[in-house]
Amino acid sequence: MITLTIISLIALLCVAVFSILWLLARRSQYTTAQYSLDWLVHILLGNLWRTKSLCGFPLDHERGAVIVANHRSSIDPFLIHLIAGQLVSWMVAREFCESWLFGWFLRQARTIPTRRGGIDNTSIMEAVRLLKEGKWVGVLPEGRINMSDEFMLPVRPGAALLARKANVPIVPVYIDGAPYNKTVTSPFFMRANVTISIGQPIHPEDFESDQDLILAAVQAIARLANRPDFQPALAGRNWKPKSGEEANTQAEQSES
């Protein structure tokens, strides 16, 4: 009898929690599943990773923007999500979106699947559509987690291409202290104190080429990190991770 009562109370509690999440989701831009994941991420960000920002995003939430950041951890998009205060659709390598479990999670996060290396016109068109609708799109221009001693790896200009096609600004973000230990799941077992620094919008019309625009965005990230002397470099046009690198950098965000 006592066991049955406990089970009934747990079931009622689950129904109550789900109902509250459903009601809250109806008042937001999220589905119930997305709101539940958002709630869980906020708990992790506030307690496990202790994430804070020195300022908010200098953007009108009704205008599209491309968010670019350094990439040291598999949870970098989560960290930016907390500070953004709204949904950011991230460009993600297509193979991760096709995974049956991880793919479901990525679909809930409204990611944009993209092909590694070269130009993926389908993902570009989808990202530009969202940007023109006033949404935010996130790109990690290094294309993989940086496990080197360099401040940032060579970058590709896909983020600049999106900003120019949609006529929206790029916002540089520096993430300091993100946890990572060689596997995509390692941050979930690591405590950290993360600080997010956000720069001023960079407008594509101020630059002659996509290459100049992305290099300026990376230089802005370096200044946020107090590394003003850092000289960013462009990756090769047909860059693609080697098989060993790809295995070591699971679920990294890809550049278009």
Q: Tell me how far apart the terminal alpha carbons of the chain are, to the nearest angstrom.
A: 59
- Position 31 scores a pLDDT of 66
> 170 is written with which tokens?
């790029």
In whole numbers, what is the pLDDT of the chain averaged over residues?
79
pLDDT average, residue stretch 14-26: 39
The pLDDT-based confidence of 36 (bands split at 50, 70, 90) is low
43 pLDDT band, cuts 50/70/90, is confident
- Expressed in percent and rounded to 5, the helix, strand and coil fractions of the chain are 45, 15, 40
For the cut 90, the answer to whether the pLDDT of residue 70 exceeds it is yes
Determine contact, residues 157/210, Cβ cutoff 8 Å: yes
Strands (E), 132-191: 136-139, 170-176
Q: Are 157 and 234 in contact (CB under 8 A)?
A: yes
Tokens (6 digits) for 147: 């496990």
- pLDDT tens column, 163-172: 999 999 999 9
DSSP 15-35: HHHHHHHHHHHHTSSS-HHHH
- pLDDT at 15 exceeding the cut of 70: no
Better-predicted residue by pLDDT, 31 or 210? 210
Contact indicator for 187, 218 with CB cutoff of 8 Å: no
3-class DSSP state for residue 114?
strand
* Domain ranges for the chain: 1-30, 31-248
Residues in the chain, overall count: 256
Residue-wise pLDDT tens digits, 201-252? 999 999 999 999 999 999 999 999 999 999 999 997 655 655 434 434 444 4
CA R_g for the chain:
19
Which fold, 31-248? Answer: Glycerol-3-phosphate (1)-acyltransferase (3.40.1130)
Alpha carbon distance 37, 29 (integer Å): 13
* Res 1: pLDDT: 52
Q: What is the pLDDT of residues 99-116, one digit of tens each?
A: 666 666 666 667 888 877
**Across 53-64, average pLDDT:** 86
More confident residue, 50 or 41: 50
DSSP-derived secondary structure for 209-244: SHHHHHHHHHHHHHHHTT-TT----BPPTT----HH
Return the closest-CA partner of residue 117 out of 249, 238, 254. 238
